[in-house]
Amino acid sequence: MSEPTPDSTAPDSQGSASQRGLRNWIEQRTGMNGLLQEALDEPIPGGARYAYIFGSGLLFVFLSQVITGVFLALYYVPSADHAHTTVAYIAKEVAAGSFLRSLHVYGSSAMVIIVLLHISQTFLYGSYKGRRELLWLSGTVLFALVMGMAFTGYLLPWDQKAYFATAVGTNVPSEIPVVGNVVKEVMRGGSELGTLTISRFFVAHVLMIPGLIFLFIGTHIFLFRKAGPAGPMNEDSFHPKLPTQSFYPRQLLMDLGLALFVIVILGSLALLYPAVLGPEANPADTQFLPRPEWYYRSLFQWLKLWTGSSVVVGIGVIPLIVVVLFVGLPFIDRRAERRPWKRPLAVGLFALIFGGLIIMEGWSYYADAHDPAVAKQLALQDRQTKEYMQEPFKPERQGAPLPTGPAATAASVAALGAGAAVPDDAVAAGQETFESHACNACHGAGGAGTPMAPKLAGIGKKRTAEQLFDLFNHPTAGMDKGGMPHFQFTQDDVKGLIAYLDSQQ
Amino acid sequence: MEPETSTENEVEQGSKEAVLTARRSFVGILVGVGTAAVGALLAVPLVRFALYPLFARATNTGLSDLGSVDSFSNLSAPLQKMISISQRDGWRESVSEKPVYVVKDAQGRLKVLSTVCPHLGCEVPWNTQKQQFFCPCHGSAFAADGTRIAGPTPRGLDSLDTTVQNGHLMVRYQYFRQLVPDKEVVG
């Protein structure tokens, strides 16, 4: 590149001749300097403040979610067959997998916390006033999209708590009169939660909602720059009068301070308390107590308050009023006054709703801790999750069952030559009996055993069919105490069960 | 307007503005360096995560049984056998069937050959008419004991490790790097 010799009096920070040459080359083709100047020289009435850092903080965490999310998708498979295995693979085996997944999991909480701070700041400063209705509206859409990301992402690991929390979550809309059931079935891709639900939630989580978020972030920033920063609460939101300070460097440094703070917090949490994964979803489990993630706990508690005919009020009328007030805020509150102490009605309502959510949140956790049966079950679920996390990763078996030892190999080669190994009838019948009586709900899939009930796989080595048949008809005190139902099995049922359980070793 | 001229004009403006510009540029460099450093730090787990499959320990497949050694005693031509092998494939373990050829080398010892062409990985069948292994993709030809005869292949068909256990011929299935003159295990 042959560029004119630069002025030797130029400050060092302008860079060497070749750097300047390259910069000019790019500038002539992109006009990048102008754009950068436009972004950095944004005038802030009243100067930079820490109160204004949350918007860019959200953008930062969102980008972190996009990056970690894209990387997680390198291993994740959205199907009921593989979702849990692939998440376990990420969490237990892939290098830095637990760390990146934890950043993503905790990042979702960070998004919700910072979006609430951003909304609170905007509300208290009256920054939605002064021809900023569309700016506020695009913000409410972004808030809904962020909550949608949190909701759809929660199901994807397909562990017990993901499954049952989403089963409850997708049931909520079915309370809406007339269209409720259709909404539920569209969300689930059918009447039940299954592999189609994962596909839907995955597409919503990684394609549709992120696309909309990018679109609305663009709109939100465009509208923000058009209206200009509202400045402090004593500033006139239509015609700013206070002396301005440019975004760069002070506000940028404050914003970067928040970004650094978030990195340190999320990074430390991810290292010290890696996000957990529970045992794989077992739809037959009747004991599992679903609990949503903390950001949906207050709504969860709120829904519990309403039963019978009052449900329409609780989950229909009141939320609708709150949504209308929230979305329509800049249209309803049209006075120019921004100082919160001069806006008692608006601030009072905001405090009532926000305070109500906090009370519901606390109430939910308090109620769980003070109901012994619930506390016990939740503790058990936590224990099962911890135990699952300590187990080594088990790859998913594909194809023919793997034989062991030379003789078995020869046999299996012969079997493979003749076609696939056919499970014999007793095993199939036993599996049918085992699953139709929901034995797996307590004894685990394939009778692998759970903390609730003993392992049954390979039971034929310990007891004969006669002994087991006898045991079903004369249960021990321990079985009754553990909640083992009294099944009326035939001799053939028991033989089938043994055949099936012996095949599950 | 030429950008070069405008830059020079800026520099020639008052000293106060020059100091301000210098200070802002200094902050700019600090921010740039800081962001790059934090970014580089955060990129480490991302790179490790993405490259994990490249460094994951290759699974050591077990021995597969080809049948009793006696059954190969009057082997006249390469004999194709199917073996089932278990392979770790990311988060799954797949059991698959692989063809191998049991052949006799010059000294009459049993040898098991991989059917994967060392050129570009096509399956190489035994051609009874030509009495050689002939790769259908690019025409590499191999003798009955696997040694290279002709074609673009850099080496002969790869022999697999074998042992005899209880009178049975056992083989360890492996993959080898293609396009190199010497046999090199890849997994």
Whether residue B144 has pLDDT greater than 60: yes
Q: In Å, what is the CA distance from A63 to each residue of A60, A108, A422, B172?
A: 5, 12, 51, 47
Whether residue A405 has pLDDT greater than 50: no
The residue count for chain B: 187
Task: Give chain B positions within 8 Å (CB) of A34.
Answer: none
Whether residue B187 has pLDDT greater than 80: no
Q: What is the CA radius of gyration of chain A?
A: 30
Residue A350: both structure tokens together? 């905001």
Q: What is the pLDDT of residue B73?
A: 82
Mutate to test the interface with A, among B16, B31, B49 (most CBs of A within 10 A): B49
Pick from B28, B82, B89: which is nearest to A417 by CB?
A: B82
Average pLDDT over residues B128-135: 89
Q: What is the pLDDT of residue A3?
A: 45
Average pLDDT over residues A405-417: 40
Q: What is the pLDDT of residue A461?
A: 79
Among candidates B97, B55, B57, B71, which has minimal Cα distance to B168? B71
**Closest residue in chain A to residue B171, using alpha carbons only:** A406
Q: Do B24 and A402 touch (CB under 8 A)?
A: no
The strand pairing partners of B110, in sequence order, are B104
B6-47, pLDDT tens digit by residue?
444 444 445 666 666 677 788 888 889 989 999 999 999 999
Q: Do B88 and A395 touch (CB under 8 A)?
A: yes
Whether residue A413 has pLDDT greater than 50: no
Percentage of residues of chain A with pLDDT beyond 90: 64
Q: In Å, what is the CA distance from B124 to each residue of A386, A424, B115?
A: 50, 37, 5
Q: What is the pLDDT of residue A484?
A: 79
Question: Of the given ranges (A50-59, A120-129, B18-27, B143-152), which has the lowest mean pLDDT?
Answer: B18-27
In the predicted model, what is the mean pLDDT of chain A?
88
The larger pLDDT score, comparing residue A383 to residue B109, is at A383
Pairing type for strands B148-150 and B141-142 reads: antiparallel
Distance (Å, whole) CA A152 – CA A197: 10
Helices (H), A129-251: 133-155, 160-171, 180-188, 195-203, 209-227
Mutate to test the interface with B, among A1, A8, A9, A13 (most CBs of B within 10 A): A13
Burial B54-89 (b: 16+ CB within 10 A, else e): eeeeeeebebbbbbeeeebeeeeebbebebbbbbbe
Q: Please report the residues numbered 413 through 442 in chain A whose beta carbons come closer than 8 angstroms to any beta carbon of chain B.
A: 413, 416-417
Average pLDDT over residues A193-212: 97
Whether residue A412 has pLDDT greater than 50: no
The larger pLDDT score, comparing residue A63 to residue A445, is at A63
pTM, two decimal places: 0.74
Q: Please report the residues numbered 234 through 253 in chain A whose beta carbons come closer than 8 angstroms to any beta carbon of chain B.
A: 248-249, 252-253
Q: Do B50 and A9 touch (CB under 8 A)?
A: no
B179: CB partners within 8 A, 6+ apart = B118, B119, B120, B154
Whether residue A477 has pLDDT greater than 60: yes
Peptide bond into B152 cis (omega under 30): no
In the predicted model, what is the mean pLDDT of chain B?
83
Whether residue A177 has pLDDT greater than 90: no
CA A110 to chain centre: 11
Q: What is the pLDDT of residue A392?
A: 94
Average pLDDT over residues A224-232: 94
Using 50, 70 and 90 to split pLDDT, how confident is the model at B85?
A: confident
A268-323, pLDDT tens digit by residue?
999 999 999 999 999 988 899 999 999 999 999 998 898 888 888 888 899 999 99
Q: Do B49 and A74 touch (CB under 8 A)?
A: yes
